[in-house]
Amino acid sequence: MAVGEQELHVEIGQRRYPIHIGSQNLNTLGEVLTQTFSASPRKVFILSNPTVADLYLSTAQASIRAAGFEHSDAHVFLMPDGEVYKSLDTFRDIMDCLVAQRLSRDSIIVALGGGVVGDMAGFVAATWQRGVDFVQVPTTLLAQVDSSVGGKTAVNHPGGKNLIGAFHQPSAVLIDIATLNSLPPREFLAGFAEVIKYGIMADADFFTWLETNLSKILERDANALMTAVKRSCEIKAAVVAEDETEQGVRALLNLGHTFGHAIESHTQYTRWLHGEAVAAGMLMATKLAEHCGYVSPADAHRIEQLLIASGYQLQPPQDMTPDIWWSLMARDKKVKAGKIRFILPTAIGSAAIFDQISADQLNAILA
């Protein structure tokens, strides 16, 4: 597949929004805004972080201004980099800035950065004056294939990840895969865990393609990245279209996340990146599924092999006792009527929700 501009759409009820995927297309941001909103003197506010801003802010700003939107350097908030800053404290700082800038209800908020920036900008857009328009410009692999699509927005609470948030769909998503070239290897690999997740839970052919093209992807070959990002977005968009607010099938996207969130929470969001924890969590989910007889040993083996070949640290922290696991997982948002709900693979390309896992079954794989 050639590296060309691609456009997908997410359809949710009456609403529909585009995902523009390309390479070196960040300078089309102004055009995307013009296509999405009528050209007007609306104010555009950008949320980013210092690392991303150094690389991409001036391109984004020039494009926005050239398209005729109102945007000055005062309409930028750079939040500190890192999951620990996805907090109510940062939320409050941003709100103070919006008040100071008198951002009105018809303003547009642009998220320029990774998952932390996108989740925060989305929650700010969901709640500023009861909701304003926002556009996602994800610059990390994790954000491009996962968090920028689907409208989940949130901040963390010391008691758990993403506990405070809202569903608020972006008006458009602009993905420039060239921004992935600037990603540190650890961040790139963390994001790739979500790509593998789509293969496991939804698409056996894609999983096989990932096995075959692993080295190209890890070398960040542009064609391979376009395919991986596009297919991931397609799967995510299809799932979200079916179940926006996670009443059913959308829960399957949390494969590996119940375990992963416990690892992140236990290590206070400082030592493991989200995707790293998800990779370890997917292996634990696979082991649990195999132990319970829900997935074949052969499929479980392929999943484990792809995770190992990708280079993940798959051993959870040694100091996590079964008691700690239970206590952390019981706080998960997926808990329903007191039962922990596990998303487990049932084959390459499919997964299901299990809420009758016994303590014995779980303890067997935790040991």
Q: Is 204 in the site for a second copy (CB under 8 A)?
A: no
Neighbours of 297 (CB within 10 A): 9
Asked if 42 is part of the footprint of a second copy (rule: CB under 8 A), the reply reads: yes
Residue 167 or 209: the one with the smaller Cβ distance to a second copy is: 167
Among residues 64 and 126, whose Cβ is nearest to a second copy?
Answer: 126
Tell me the closest approach of the beta carbon of residue 325 to a second copy, in angstroms.
16
Distances in Å between the Cα of 107 and the Cα atoms of 116, 269, 286, 342 are: 21, 32, 45, 40
> Hey, how many other C-beta atoms are within 10 angstroms of the C-beta on 246?
18
Take residue 26 and report the two structure tokens written for it. Answer: 């960040």
Return the residue of 11, 54, 96, 355 that touches a second copy, per CB under 8 A: 96
Are 320 and 262 contacting, i.e. CB atoms less than 8 angstroms apart?
A: yes
Q: How far is the CB of 107 from a second copy (least distance, A)?
A: 10
List the Cα angle 138/141/144 in 5-degree steps: 40
Q: Which stretch binds a second copy (CB under 8 A): 3-11, 76-84, 94-102, 295-303?
A: 94-102
Verify binding: residue 271, a second copy, rule CB under 8 A: no
| Single-letter residue type at 38 | S
Nearer Cβ to a second copy, position 128 or 294? 128
Rule CB under 8 A: choose which of 54, 106, 205, 242 binds a second copy: 106
- Among residues 37 and 294, whose Cβ is nearest to a second copy? 37
Q: How many residues bind a second copy (CB under 8 A)?
A: 41
How far apart CA 77 and CA 50 sit, in angstroms, is 9
Q: Which H or E element spans position 59?
A: helix 58-66
Which stretches of 203-293 are DSSP H helices?
204-218, 222-242, 257-266, 274-292
Sign of CA dihedral 21, 25, 27, 28: negative
| Cβ atoms < 10 Å from Cβ of 88 | 13
Q: Is residue 129 at the binding interface for a second copy, with CB under 8 A as the rule? A: yes
Here's the x/- map for a second copy, 217-256, by CB under 8 A: it reads as ----------------------------x-----------
Asked whether position 321 contacts a second copy by CB under 8 A, the answer is no
CB of 108 to a second copy, least distance (A): 13
Question: Cα angle vertex 145, ends 64, 53, to 5°?
Answer: 35
Residues tagged active-site: 130, 152, 194, 236, 246, 250, 254, 257, 261, 274
Tokens 């924890």, residue?
277
Distance of CA 324 to the CA centre of its chain: 26
Stretch of 3-11, 72-80, 120-128, 294-302 lying at the interface with a second copy (CB under 8 A):
120-128
DSSP code for 1? -
CB of 195 to a second copy, least distance (A): 24
> Can residue 74 be called a binding residue for a second copy (CB under 8 A)?
no
**Among 166, 204, 320, 353, contact with a second copy (rule: CB under 8 A):** 166
> Of the candidates 157, 186, 271, 301, which one interacts with a second copy according to CB under 8 A?
157
Distance CA 86, CA 291 (A): 36
Residues that bind a second copy (CB under 8 A): 40-42, 88, 92, 95-96, 99-100, 102, 104-106, 126-131, 152-154, 157-160, 162-167, 245, 330-331, 333-338
